[in-house]
Structure 1
């Protein structure tokens, strides 16, 4: 009975540390519906995830399809086609990354479970602090990556939307704002308001979704790499403790300790 509160406290600490290490992944993947399902996931959360996925794809297609139509039916000069294809290519590749992210949700969920199990295995405070140090580094790299990618694309959208150009429509001269992606005006009349503003907001949103698809892989890769380094550090501590133990303490537990070290090493390599 006396060991139960200690066990509960240890589990809560391990849970808190594991949540801390994967927190950024959850923040980046949940808004786009790419966070994996677990046994604790409710039906409501699954429905919300499906709705988010539908909205994300609708936003991406809303931005990409009119741009493709513009490239096909409007731009005749190769230079203009190449110039318009650059931003659209980013949106398109981001959509592919997002799709791949959705297909890999089960494997991502397995990795999350693996991380949580690793934190439960480590019980000593010194070992937890070593892993926590690596987790902080993984979060730092993930944050820098996310800021870099989002700031680049979203700032491009803001700058594009702040530039104005004058066009002639019949006998009328209008001043409109440019858009991050070209739009085929026979599909959406972007020369008028509020169509132009709505398209800009949708393209800005789709840029965020497109970025998040790629960032999801970068962030998760950083967290996994940092976690693996932390596990190797813990393994090195176990080996040092085993080597430095006196001969009397090793008797009877030598093979079990070695077996545990080897199994944990194999677990890290999985």
Structure 2
């Protein structure tokens, strides 16, 4: 059998590869304070993490609390109740995903560390190429998800309200922009300035956080799934080279078989 000429490659650039693999995931999770903190974290990192978490939950609550008040007190029509409840359900799901990010921080850190170890232990150029291809696909999935989700923020929270005609009341003495989500007058009169502008800006930020949580969740799923696929493809490549080995391979058949078994155990875990 003709052996394929393959250069053995020890991955000295694993940090760059790791950064390429998780950069988008780290960005989306850091925005909401859900990227795993280092075990030897400084107090400044802890304060930043807590601040981003409080800010994110506060912005989500800015939509949910007034919306629930409107559902229970202000709105009486069943159709209107269903319409508002359907819109608020997206934020309820965002809060649930956000909470899971918080309580699963240690698990996410463990997964990230395992991915980093896989990049560090790459020895062959062929294996590195397989992992980079899967990392590129993961990034494309995250970008596509972000395009639709952030595009929804721009259209639903900015373009749509600003292109609608402003509401005129009190014989033309009161003109205001329609808010994206209802805001009950029992809390504040959102029709008047500057409360109207403040509420509108806060709702845009709240929508961005909710959509970013979804992008972060989808990106994390894509990261783990595609990395797992990459490791399975690496395992298949090892099986193809099990009998004859690679060019300039000094390992025995027994050693190669042990490596295959070890890789298989790592993948199924």
| Shift of residue 185, structure 1, vs aligned partner | 1.5
Q: Residues of 2 paired with 1:203 and 1:245: CA distance?
A: 60
Indicate whether 1:268 and 2:267 are aligned. Answer: yes
Alignment of 1:29-108 (within 5 A): 29-108=29-108
| Shift of residue 266, structure 1, vs aligned partner | 1.0
Residues 131, 231 of structure 1: 8 Å contact kept: yes
Indicate whether 1:209 and 2:173 are aligned. Answer: no
Partner of residue 146, structure 1 = 146
Alignment of 1:1-270 (within 5 A): 12-162=12-162, 163-169=164-170, 173-245=173-245, 253-270=252-269
Residues 142, 222 of structure 1: 8 Å contact kept: yes
Q: Residues of 1 paired with 2:19 and 2:169: CA distance?
A: 57
Deviation by residue 1:158-211 (Cα, 9 ceiling, x = unmatched) = 144212343535x66422211111000120211111111111111111111112
Q: Residues of 2 paired with 1:188 and 1:50: CA distance?
A: 28
Residues 87, 180 of structure 1: 8 Å contact kept: no
Gaps in structure 1 of 5+ consecutive residues: 1-8
Gaps in structure 2 of 5+ consecutive residues: 1-8
Residues 94, 210 of structure 2: 8 Å contact kept: yes
1:244 is paired with a residue of what secondary structure? coil
Structure 2 vs 1, CA of residues 214 and 257 (structure 1 numbering), >3 Å: closer, same or farther? same
Residues 11, 119 of structure 2: 8 Å contact kept: no
Deviation by residue 1:65-97 (Cα, 9 ceiling, x = unmatched) = 112111222111111111222222212221221
Root mean square deviation of aligned Cα: 2.1
Structure 2 vs 1, CA of residues 32 and 151 (structure 1 numbering), >3 Å: closer, same or farther? same
1:22 is paired with a residue of what secondary structure? helix
Residues 32, 52 of structure 1: 8 Å contact kept: yes
Deviation by residue 1:11-58 (Cα, 9 ceiling, x = unmatched) = 650111011111111000001100111235332112101011111111
Structure 2 vs 1, CA of residues 11 and 73 (structure 1 numbering), >3 Å: closer, same or farther? same
1:30 is paired with a residue of what secondary structure? helix
How many matched pairs? 258
Residues 134, 230 of structure 2: 8 Å contact kept: yes
* Richer in helix (by share): 1
TM score, norm. by length of structure 1: 0.88
Structure 2 vs 1, CA of residues 177 and 267 (structure 1 numbering), >3 Å: closer, same or farther? same
2:186 is paired with a residue of what secondary structure? coil
TM score, norm. by length of structure 2: 0.89
